[in-house]
Structure 1
């Protein structure tokens, strides 16, 4: 499906005010309970704090970690039984969205769920009530690991995970807690493990295990900008912008998992932090065409591995294959 087929949605007059930026940079998650960190999002209320969660084999828990990787809060969702939580995002209403959208058997679950709860004003352990939203895709069940809430419109997007038929799906203008929310395919994407909007909503980053690409988001559609450097990670599953929009942080699964910062520059930077906000030139392309496997790595393609030798990335792919296959075959 071409990007021109995207249905325009409402656009607010201005993005919410960005939170003051706290310290950020590389850190290691030290909590022994967090062994499968699968989502990551920068807090708006608590500068320098990031929310994460395990992807499976855990209870209904969301953890806040600081810039040193220490857990500073654990939130328990009352009465929730998670099946395969894969992503977390923050809306303009100050509420967190936890996406229970994984389906490693590609079509086993007829519906998946999103849980929404208010980001706590104070850090600390607590139990909260969450609103559950039922989700189905217009073209049938699928596996997905990426959920992005637009920070201006509040609209929810999901990127499905498939090497050849992945899609970017748009939710209804507002999620309904009653009935089923149908997500409609608006563009093709490759194997996406996570994505995030910039704080001002002008950029969208998508990542896979071995690639990352940046898109300009305007008029409710993405336009390719180009690749973004991606550090080697054993099983890279998450990405978020820092609260100032000048960097992205990449996370991975595993005990004592490292979170890596990559500073952005040029057109990669969101409009509100760039010296000039003039739109970049060049034709719009679908995310799949821009960032699919085999894209060039010199900036002329859009989403392949960063400027790293082919031999190194072959070695990385071989090293990560065992972890990917093990996870794909694990029953949920």
Structure 2
């Protein structure tokens, strides 16, 4: 597939062409961008610009299961302990405050199983650690709120899953919930090859859990991830690329990630894209960026064309 070029790429290509024209009598051309064989073809759609001006550092994204056509997000460091619910057009529907929990550096949000059968739970990753200062990290768990009115709401029942890494302090921004097992999977960020860890289900609230280390993947700067609702496909992104792994029947998430080289998916690079989420139908995925350089946060949808 021929990749559409970003504005930056177009400007760069134009400058290069001008340079070669002035210095090589119009005989040289700017180097062509190499073709990439993507895991599957997608059609990109701009769904909507987020209307809520208080969402300025969207660092996580997940498609709601209890509220069809709606999405959850949250800000990065520096905000209060709150999550936002919005629709595909970007309209803000409600803000939910998590009972004054710390919000030092929230980096991702996932949706999955929990203690009660048949109930959807949100998991918010308080695990950013740019300077490797904190031993204990936190994942806040709450039952997914069912939207019934616009405005602000308070969530009193939030549980704190505390954990440490077995190999030192780590900075991580990607949290994934396995819909098949209930396990939580964390991918680190800073290493040249990012590391994967598991918090096995059920998750104790009485002790600090030691995360299980499984290995390294050939991805750097992981900043968001998600597992499809049926558990068979895995997405992970960094600032420049989106990576994809299929997951075979009876494979663990670690086996899927470590047994194969990740495939790439087309990605229109965002100002600071840190959030990705599967469409619950499996027919595509969404991305969302922090606001940078006066560029507003936009929800993008990548519809897969092989379905």
TM-score interval, smaller chain: 0.7 to 0.9
Deviations 1:39-93 (A, max 9, x none): 0000001111000000111100000010110111111101301110000000134
Distance in 2 between residues matched to 1:185 and 1:217, nearest whole Å: 19
Distance in 1 between residues matched to 2:60 and 2:212, nearest whole Å: 23
Q: Which residue of 2 aligns with 1:95?
A: 121
Deviations 1:98-145 (A, max 9, x none): 00010011x210111000001112344321120001111111111000
Higher strand share: 2
Q: Which residue of 1 aligns with 2:269?
A: 232
Q: Which residue of 2 aligns with 1:193?
A: 223
Structure 1: runs of 5+ lacking an equivalent: 1-23, 267-273, 275-332
The equivalent position to 1:245 in structure 2, one of 257, 282, 292, is 282
Deviating more after overlay: 118-127 vs 43-52: 118-127
Distance in 1 between residues matched to 2:213 and 2:46, nearest whole Å: 35
User: Considering only aligned residues, what root-mean-square deviation do their CA atoms show, in Å?
Assistant: 1.6
Distance in 2 between residues matched to 1:132 and 1:238, nearest whole Å: 22
- SS of the aligned residue for 1:88 comes to strand
Distance in 2 between residues matched to 1:56 and 1:168, nearest whole Å: 23
Please state how far the C-alpha of 1:265 moved relative to its aligned partner: 4.1
| Residue 203, structure 1, aligned to residue 233, structure 2 | yes
Q: Which residue of 2 aligns with 1:5?
A: none
- SS of the aligned residue for 1:51 comes to strand
Structure 1 length-normalised TM: 0.70
Aligned pairs for 1:79-158 (under 5 A) are: 79-92=100-113, 93-105=119-131, 107-124=132-149, 125-128=152-155, 129-158=157-186
CA contact (8 A) 2:125 2:175 kept: yes
CA contact (8 A) 1:73 1:123 kept: no
Distance in 1 between residues matched to 2:179 and 2:148, nearest whole Å: 22
| Residue 71, structure 1, aligned to residue 96, structure 2 | no
CA contact (8 A) 1:168 1:186 kept: yes
Distance in 2 between residues matched to 1:95 and 1:44, nearest whole Å: 9
Aligned pairs for 1:1-332 (under 5 A) are: 26-92=47-113, 93-105=119-131, 107-124=132-149, 125-128=152-155, 129-189=157-217, 190=219, 191-218=221-248, 219-220=251-252, 221-222=255-256, 223-224=260-261, 226-254=263-291, 256-266=296-306
CA contact (8 A) 1:134 1:180 kept: yes
Distance in 2 between residues matched to 1:224 and 1:65, nearest whole Å: 35
Deviations 1:267-307 (A, max 9, x none): xxxxxxx5xxxxxxxxxxxxxxxxxxxxxxxxxxxxxxxxx
CA contact (8 A) 1:113 1:132 kept: yes
Distance in 1 between residues matched to 2:261 and 2:73, nearest whole Å: 28
Equivalent pairs counted in the alignment come to 243
Structure 2 length-normalised TM: 0.76
- SS of the aligned residue for 1:259 comes to strand
Structure 2: runs of 5+ lacking an equivalent: 1-44, 114-118
**Structure with greater Cα Rg:** 2
